[in-house]
Structure 1
């Protein structure tokens, strides 16, 4: 297996997905933060990326981008919406989590803006960027 630029960016995307997956498991299983509905949707998007991107990176299959890119973009949009619920007062009237764990509670708030949905959004953006760069690299 030769490592070309496209495969390298697949590895970067896979690494980000694995770190995000392990981070979410750390927050829920070690820190015992209960995930809300939107957190679960973000996990539904991120966890398969860890597996699919790992297999694609190992085999050098850059064509997988057209299948995983929509998952990453949708996950990023959910993360952005979740982050806006936490940080923008106008979004507070929208209640996607009407029962159970509230979606507008920030379990962490590092530096006044880094929350769990922000971390997820950052991961989805990085994965999307790496996939797009890798797809256009030869």
Structure 2
């Protein structure tokens, strides 16, 4: 192989490696899972989601285990949240889901608290124990209006 052909081959390898790296990083930033396993799809109905968005993280003890994939309004006018978590997890049926705010005015995410039951949630089942988001503006409004009224 002559010198020019060798140089072109090496440059081609570097370009190919760069393209593979860009695709890999794009998938990671986009929040797509690299695993081929089937996720555990769970549902939770909340009275108030207060700005929770699709693709919001789902965490257990601060570790991301999934994400919110869909939010719709159900027949009872409650927010039905579709959650996909790692399919290898075994979550007890008494697992609870809470909507938490990251910081004072930060993004919202779902925190799962596994219970102690011996039976586990299966894909397609609903998380029965939920805690809706606290809307800071409503809380402040109640404090302000509550402070102006006299109690007897």
TM-score bracket, normalised by the shorter chain, equals: under 0.3
User: Which structure: greater helix fraction?
Assistant: 1
> Which structure exhibits the higher relative contact order, with contacts defined as CA atoms closer than 8 Å and separated by 6 or more residues?
1
Q: TM-score, normalised by structure 1?
A: 0.23
Larger strand proportion of the pair: 2
